[in-house]
Amino acid sequence: MTILENIKHDIQTIKDRDPAATSTLEILTYSGLHAVAFYRVSHWFYVHKHKVIARCISQFARMLTGIEIHPGAKIGKGLLIDHGSGVVIGETAEIGDYCLLYQGCTLGGTGKDHGKRHPTLGNNVMVGCGAKVLGPFTVGDNAKIAANAVVLEPVPANSTAVGVPARIVKQNGKRTCDLDQVHIPDPVAQELCQTRIQIAKLEKRVAELEKIGKKEQ
């Protein structure tokens, strides 16, 4: 697809998927659409070895929209960035078709990798507000990343990842663990309790040794 065809397809995707979109004219005001359109232009310059021009376009788009997409990223058709302020997409990130990214999410690196440093998203992947997907691994088709999750490992297709660090709570429509948002154990309190138990055992052991020592005297 040409750049113009891709942009037209992006507009149609917003029409189909965003219930708040009432007309093409309104969609043309969306910062997410502006960011993706600028990306498609900058990416063309990037792949044709005009990297300085590509970078200038991407930085201008960042100032205009608050969304940073490196021109080297590979993005499929129909990407929807909804309320996209603060979204960051790294240089070696790859995004499949019809993905949905929400405000403040990051497709970034950990700083430890070379070459391929950023994640690969399959088709129809949703990344929630504030989520961080960090590292050169794959998030499978139709996966969902919950808001504010920190994903550091591959996510299988048709699954939902939640938490810090993220864990899989649902796969192929079935729960893989019990996610209770109300009765969540306090890990600090649990650790203190374990420490108190260990101290009590040690105190008991010391008292026993003292008794043995007195008997021997």
Average pLDDT score, the chain: 87
Instruction: Give tens-digit pLDDT for 48-78.
Output: 999 999 999 999 999 999 999 999 999 998 8
Q: Which of 21-30, 170-179, 200-209 has the lowest mean pLDDT?
A: 170-179
CB-CB neighbours of 46 under 10 Å: 21
> Above 60 in pLDDT, residue 184?
no
Torsion angle of the four alpha carbons 37, 39, 44, 45, in this order, in degrees rounded to the nearest 10: 120
Residue predicted with more confidence, 126 or 192: 126
* Confidence band, pLDDT 50/70/90 cuts, at residue 111: confident
Residue predicted with more confidence, 185 or 33: 33
Whole-angstrom Cα distance, residue 112 to residue 187?
Answer: 28
Q: Region 184-188: what's the mean pLDDT?
A: 55
Q: Please report the pLDDT score of residue 194 as a whole number.
A: 81
Whole-angstrom Cα distance, residue 182 to residue 12?
Answer: 40
* Confidence band, pLDDT 50/70/90 cuts, at residue 180: very low
Domain map (residue ranges) of the chain = 3-175, 185-217
> Above 70 in pLDDT, residue 183?
no
Q: Region 195-207: what's the mean pLDDT?
A: 88
Residue predicted with more confidence, 179 or 66: 66
Let me know: does 71 contact 51? Beta carbons within 8 Å: yes
Whole-angstrom Cα distance, residue 65 to residue 80?
Answer: 14
Q: Please report the pLDDT score of residue 177 as a whole number.
A: 54
The CATH number of the structural domain formed by 3-175 is 2.160.10.10
Q: Please report the pLDDT score of residue 176 as a whole number.
A: 59
* Confidence band, pLDDT 50/70/90 cuts, at residue 172: confident
Whole-angstrom Cα distance, residue 191 to residue 193?
Answer: 5
Q: Please report the pLDDT score of residue 181 as a whole number.
A: 42
Residue predicted with more confidence, 177 or 149: 149
